[in-house]
Chains A and B, each alone.
Chain A
């Protein structure tokens, strides 16, 4: 494995974070545009982006609300997606900074990207600087692109003619794609999708995706029994 230990933080950010920022800019702009065309108050998308700062969850909340789901369904769905941030919090714990204030502020910058990025770094000062710099880049790009998308979306009158209704599902799939490598995860995801579609006619809007979560048991059950005997260290 290649070691980054001597590479300047700025270089790593340029090489690894900027390309991700480009993708997030597009996702953020789509989020803003879809929010604008969905007719929610103008301040919701930018305020949510600043205070929640979690693209997949914001998209999930938007998707559930657009489908007619209620407040509770949207909150539960989005927070389940953000539950992974809890796992990241454990991994990045030492990279958030020394002072209490720094830790509280940097915790808001926890994302998939900077958590993965610091896995290769072992010096805690470097871990902190890389984590914070990557987080700030993503934070800036995400929020600016949401506003840009919002302004753009305001000028779109016919979303169907532009095919925007196909963009939301495509982005959701693309956001999940990096995690679909393992066959077990694919099996859960496929089962969940079938459960959601099959239950949709019978339950209130927003609830089908929560029913899909039952599919997680496929993974938690067997794999646990599978792993225990072999687990050493």
Chain B
């Protein structure tokens, strides 16, 4: 309970503070090109790293380990996203491939 409250409060406060930096100090200070570049790249690196670890290890601590059905599902979903398919196709593709492979007995 406390954990969740702190998580939501910390995230909400931190995110709003980040949103407010530009509007409040923007007249006096602007980030340089290196900082701007880092602000662009870091989120992408983190999202991809999280996608990779969640694919390999599973999303919850107790279903850990490499899982062929999940791996195939994520590969299909990621492939669809790569070729700019709509989000619906990405979600359904990943879920259906994984569910289908499990239905025919692949873990």
Which residues of A are in contact with B by a Cβ distance under 8 Å?
22-23, 26-27, 30, 34, 38, 40-41, 44, 47-48, 51-54, 56-58, 60-61, 63-68, 71, 74-75, 77-93, 96, 103-104, 107-108, 110, 160-177, 179-180, 185, 188-190, 192-193, 195-197, 200, 205, 208-210, 212-213, 215-216, 219-220, 223-224, 227, 231
Please encode chain B, from 10 to 52, with 1 for each CB lying within 8 Å of some chain A CB and 0 for all others: 1110111011111100100011011011111111111111111
Complex partner residue of B53 from A91, A189, A200, A231, CB under 8 angstroms: A200
User: Do the beta carbons of B39 and A83 come within 8 Å of each other?
Assistant: yes
Least CB separation from A68: chain B residue: B61
Query: Smallest distance from the beta carbon of A220 to chain B beta carbons, Å?
Result: 5
Query: Smallest distance from the beta carbon of A60 to chain B beta carbons, Å?
Result: 6
Contact status of A197 and B11, CB under 8 A, knowing A80-B46, A93-B26, A160-B63: no
Distance A167 CA – B103 CA, assembled complex (angstroms): 17
Query: Smallest distance from the beta carbon of A194 to chain B beta carbons, Å?
Result: 8
Compute the total of residue contacts between A and B using a CB distance below 8 Å. 304
Cβ of B8: which chain A residues have Cβ within 8 Å of it? 44, 47-48, 51-52
Distance A162 CA – B33 CA, assembled complex (angstroms): 45
Distance A167 CA – B70 CA, assembled complex (angstroms): 9
Which residues of B57-71 are within 8 A (CB) of A?
Answer: 57-61, 63, 67, 69-70
Complex partner residue of B46 from A60, A161, A165, CB under 8 angstroms: A60
User: Do the beta carbons of A213 and B45 come within 8 Å of each other?
Assistant: yes
Cβ of A74: which chain B residues have Cβ within 8 Å of it? 7
Which residues of B are in contact with A by a Cβ distance under 8 Å?
1, 3-4, 6-8, 10-12, 14-16, 18-23, 26, 30-31, 33-34, 36-61, 63, 67, 69-70, 73-74, 77-78, 81-82, 84, 86-88, 90-91, 93-100, 102-103
A-B contacts, 10 of them at CB < 8 A, read A67-B61, A86-B19, A90-B22, A169-B50, A172-B51, A173-B77, A173-B78, A188-B44, A189-B49, A220-B34
Of residues A165, A173, A177, A179, which shows the largest number of chain B Cβ atoms within 10 Å of its Cβ? A173
User: Do the beta carbons of B57 and A163 come within 8 Å of each other?
Assistant: no
Cβ of A52: which chain B residues have Cβ within 8 Å of it? 8, 11-12, 15
Least CB separation from B95: chain A residue: A163
Distance A197 CA – B23 CA, assembled complex (angstroms): 38
Query: Smallest distance from the beta carbon of B9 to chain A beta carbons, Å?
Result: 8
Which 4 pairs between the two chains have the least Cβ-Cβ distance? A89-B22, A170-B77, A163-B98, A166-B73
User: Do the beta carbons of A216 and B15 come within 8 Å of each other?
Assistant: no
Contact status of A86 and B73, CB under 8 A, knowing A96-B23, A165-B63: no
Complex partner residue of B48 from A61, A82, A172, CB under 8 angstroms: A172
Query: Smallest distance from the beta carbon of A84 to chain B beta carbons, Å?
Result: 5
User: Do the beta carbons of B60 and A66 come within 8 Å of each other?
Assistant: yes
